[in-house]
Chain A
Amino acid sequence: MPEAAVNHYKADLRAIEFTLYEHLNVEQLFALEAFSHISRDECDAIIAQCHRFVNEVTGPLNGAADRAGCTLERGVCTTPAGFKDAWKKLFELGLMAFPMPVADGGLGGPHAIAVVLEELQSGANCAFNMYSGLTHGAADVISNFALPEDRARFLPPMVDGRFAGTMCLSEPHAGSDVGAAKTRARHLEGNVYAITGTKCWISAGDHDLAENIVHLVLARIEGAPTGTQGISLFIVPKIWVNEDGSLGGSNDVTTASIEHKLGIRASATAVLNFGENDGCRGILVGGKPHMGMKQMFRMMNGARIAVGVQGLSVASAAYLNALRYARERLQGSSVRQFKDPNAPRVPIIEHSDVRRMLVEMKAKVEGMRTLCVKVALHADLAHALHAVDEAKAIYHQGQVDLLTPIVKAYCADQAFRVAELAIQTYGGAGYVQDNPVEQYCRDAKIFSIYEGTNHIQALDLVARKLQQHGGENFTAFLTEIAEFVAAHSDKPGLGAEIRALGEASAALQRAAGSLMEFFMSGKIDQVTLVANPFLEVMADVAIAHLLLGAAVVADAKRTKDEDVDDDEPNRHEVDFYSGKVMAAKHFVNFVLPAVHAKVGAIVSGDRSALDMPDGGFSTAF
């Protein structure tokens, strides 16, 4: 019997509104020429429709789809019940068009708003959103790099949901090392090549949601240089698409298997064989050979932010479920009445330790959301100011580049940690399938692995992004924090925390100095040893800054608590703003101090992990 549909998803629309409009002033975008075709009213209407869609359609499918998973029988991959109908509704709604350029049939909406739409969709059903997310990523690459005739051939059906998309980088021997890819391309005619090879781990690699799947495949043209410079990118449809857009025959792409996974079980992860019968054709993207990595990087940068948003989404859903449960579950009595055996049972939210877990989750979730929206806003401003104020556009793009690995790695890690805390908050009830948090935890683990493992992100940060533009991006990041600290360090009620941010930022600078020393003295293995802790330090500083920024805004808006009594209609607005202040203070006092311990480890120059003899790990085998 099919499992009953229960929607566990809850979105925090008030918190989202605060981040967008009260804290980060996303509204500034609508005054700029590049976004003048859209208004806040329309964006709000779109968010409202998306919210309704995820609660009515995809949210209720999440649990049952996880249990059912995907199946592959006789080469045909089937998604869980309800996904086909949800896909149809998603494209009737037209969400895919939102961030796409107007020229390609999109709405050209701001990324800052797209982040919210993604949060709602991934939060309600992370696995389902993989299919549309990858379709969007692939369409974005085609929109940016493909020849006009290929854009016309592939984009309209990808925007209206007839075609889906994938990104095919990984191979059995080429995971983190994408340049080791062995898939080959042999020139046939014009921009058309014969493709042969095997790709693995391909998300949304096969399914029954769309008529056709457009694979973007990295392959090496015969005679090309080795390594990443020799890689080209091809559009390889599952079913060939004729020049007039009509469907041709099968393109010799077969699904060898799909994985059985820890999480996102309703997202089909496929092993794909291209050209087993020498009948697979691919179109060289943009007609330019050996440009594959550069082109794919565009998608990867977008996809890395998208993975960060996935982290935020699942974390937020886990937190709000834990909060709901903590308000309902009665257990134990208040510690303040420990002497009274007849003291009444209280909801667990009244216990200090449960509150500690909840506020930590809240701070991290809201910090992640602010970080994601802020980076998206930088991207929007870079785009909008491109022709108007080149220097500013460069600054904003620099912040996007610098913060992308942090968005990806921090949100990925914290999604898992928050989901784990959510399970802990529930106790035993969190460990079983009756409640959704065990699924959130399983779903969240993949975020730190795909799209470049978190260590690959950390390497990108320490080896490329810190030094980019002669280090100016990093300097601008630190300057913004220094200015914030200088402006608010005397603020009553928050001054101590704001000064603590200043100290953490100084520690971050010390760590960056150590990294430089390691580089200069040729201790590259020492740099990579501390790359992850360095990224974590920088992320904590960034999050503390954003949470305190929100707290300063909120503090100015809340009337003094004492002035509002419990029945006052304004009560929950006052509580909302107080919540922002408390979350920031808790984060600074309970989480941020770890920065100093990590910086201590980084600057110590300790090499034990490197000096460890291989046999020292264990002599068991």
Chain B
Amino acid sequence: MKILATVKRVPDPETSIKVKPDGSGIVADNIKWVVNPFDEIAVEESLRIKEKVAGSEVVLVSVGAKVAQEQLRTGLAMGADRAILVVAEDGLEPLAVARVLVKVIESEQPDLVVMGKQSIDDDSNAVGQMAAELLGWPQATFASKLELAGDQKTATVTREVDGGLETLSFPLPGIVTTDLRLNEPRYASLPGIMKARKKELKEIEVGALGVDVAPKARLVKMEPPPKRQAGKKVASVEELVHLLHTEAKVI
């Protein structure tokens, strides 16, 4: 079985993000970059399938700047077999990323594509759905459980939906996007990190794929959230109620 998992390079959720003074984006220097946590779950799920189904191959794909090699190496260190980096130095919109992925999927012909439900930087939550639509493939998003039939021809996915769980079954090939509770990703082990260096990491220029990646929207401005104001200590409940009424105007 061939499984394709996506890997996006995103700022570490633990780093403090600074917006450029002119609001044109975030300051990219001096921040730590990691694999998008939802993609890490996608890689883990793919590896678990590989461990169960003999002869499987896990291929990673990233669309992004050349430095995203680092995140692909992390995925390879976790145990994936090889990686493809579609080099696009400028950030692409979800639809453009979906189109690029479709090209890669068409040439790789995986049985299953596992992706993060969203990336934690832009929070678009769109690429998986768009790619499935462009391919005409079935999709199951927000997966908290993924099971394959014995013949690996169908997948059964439990989805986390408002107020409960929904179970879907669909024929492969298809696209699954991962939610937090699907699994707990493994660490890249030291032997894994050493082996990763020798694994294939192929780079393709985005221009060579012949897809329309021109942006359809324009970034107007980025702003940091307003600074938290200092709190205020009050002497009594009466004063609190009074201030909530007169100053905060919430009651």
Contact = CB atoms under 8 A, between A and B. Distances in A.
B55 interface: no
A93 interface: yes
Contacts of B74: 45
Interface string A399-441: 0000000000000000000000000000000000000000000
A42 B193 contact: yes
Interface in B30-51: 30, 32
Interface in A33-54: 38-39, 41-42, 45-46, 49, 52-53
A569 B27 contact: yes
Contacts of A107: 190-191, 194
Nearest to A94: B190
A52 B187 contact: yes
B234 to A, nearest CB: 15
B187 A41 contact: no
A573 to B, nearest CB: 6
Interface size class for chain A?
20 to 34
B222 to A, nearest CB: 13
Contacts of B99: none
A102 to B, nearest CB: 10
Interface string B52-77: 00000000000000000010011001
A206 B32 CA distance: 40
A45 B187 contact: no
A38 B29 CA distance: 26
Nearest to B14: A55
Contacts of A570: 29
A39 B192 CA distance: 14
B186 interface: yes
Contacts of A89: 187
Given A39-B197, A41-B73, A569 B29 contact: yes
Contacts of B188: 45, 49
B189 interface: yes
A89 B189 CA distance: 10
B27 A45 contact: no
A95 interface: yes
B77 A45 contact: yes
Interface string A567-602: 111101100000000000000000000000000000
A201 to B, nearest CB: 32
Interface size on B, as a range, is 20 to 34
Given A42-B197, A107-B194, A92 B29 contact: no
Q: Is the interface of A mostly helix, strand, loop or mixed?
A: helix
Nearest to A117: B190
B194 A38 contact: yes
A39 B197 CA distance: 10
Interface in A67-100: 89, 92-95, 97-98
A510 to B, nearest CB: 45
Interface string B1-31: 0000000000000000010110000010110
B18 A49 contact: no
Interface in B67-91: 70, 73-74, 77
A98 B190 contact: yes
B27 A46 contact: no
B189 A93 contact: yes
Contacts of A42: 193-194, 197
Given A42-B197, A45-B77, A97 B18 contact: no
Nearest to B18: A569
Contact of B193 (A49, A52, A568, A569): A49
Contacts of A39: 197
Interface of A: 13, 38-39, 41-42, 45-46, 49, 52-53, 89, 92-95, 97-98, 107, 567-570, 572-573
13 contacts: A42-B193, A52-B187, A89-B187, A92-B186, A92-B189, A95-B190, A97-B190, A98-B190, A567-B21, A568-B21, A569-B21, A569-B27, A573-B30
Given A42-B194, A42-B197, A569-B20, 8 more contacts: A92-B186, A93-B187, A94-B189, A569-B18, A569-B21, A569-B30, A570-B29, A572-B30
